[in-house]
A = this chain, B = another copy of it.
């Protein structure tokens, strides 16, 4: 695994105060926040994708404070160094303070608790239900299990809700197949470009070589795209795990595609996009495809920059809040 500059999770906190009349003898004032949890990136232009998602959440819930969290230790460490580097700060006035001083999801949530927030919606910017999402779920369970014998009043967290990834999660509450449908619609501009280019469309997802079945949701998305947009052959592969670029090539050959648009299926177009996908090295996807005789049109833009895709995370945060009985404002 290479050094990643991708993100999977940012933390934005939307703040709203509700005063509840709890049963019995005391009043509890609940304060709400949304935390956007991303993997993170160190590539400055790539921040656009995640900042776009944050803007959309703020626009949707203007009375709610917003904070960002990065899950990657390596990426966070680099930002900690930059935050101490006055020359870097002078050279990069565009970097917002909450990126410079970004913390882990736990530290971001705990700071909220220290400031009196007890109701948290965590919205990850994960693409699929996999290792990172399930890990985050253990955080949510753990935070809700921090208890008090005298219940309710002294519990550190009233409610902690977790929004689902872009392509949905298990269970019957929100059928993941409908989440795929929404994502397929959001990809229309890419299909338009491929049509214009008279090309097939290859997405590069991240994937996970240690999570069986992780490629399934990507393949289901590609199959749905070929059905909804029958004029463009859409295929998908992952940087890690199945399906790999070799599987993509096998599929393209079956469909007799010769020319392709190559684009990341990741929230930010960071290190993977720049190097693994579009890089000039021999083992970049671009190189491998060209070596196999394909003409390649590269597009390095993160999904977060696609407004319709960014909206998915806003909708999923809203669903999570509603399901948990949290009213965001």
Contact = CB atoms under 8 A, between A and B. Distances in A.
A149 B133 CA distance: 10
A145 B107 CA distance: 16
Interface string A101-140: 0011011011101101000000000001111001100110
A218 B213 CA distance: 8
A40 interface: no
A76 B156 CA distance: 14
Stoichiometry, as copies per complex, reads 4
A281 interface: no
Interface stretch (A164-172, A190-198, A268-276, A313-321): A164-172
- Categorize the interface residue count of chain A: 35 or more
Nearest to A165: B212
A11 to B, nearest CB: 12
Contacts of A113: 104, 106-107
Given A210-B176, A213-B213, A151 B138 contact: no
Contacts of A27: none
A220 to B, nearest CB: 4
For A116, A150, A151, A212, which residue has the most chain B Cβ atoms within 10 angstroms?
A212
Given A104-B110, A142-B146, A211-B149, A131 B242 contact: no
Contacts of A215: 213, 216, 219-220
Contact of A217 (B73, B130, B209, B213): B213
A89 interface: no
11 contacts: A103-B114, A104-B113, A106-B156, A109-B110, A130-B213, A131-B170, A170-B210, A213-B214, A213-B216, A219-B219, A220-B243
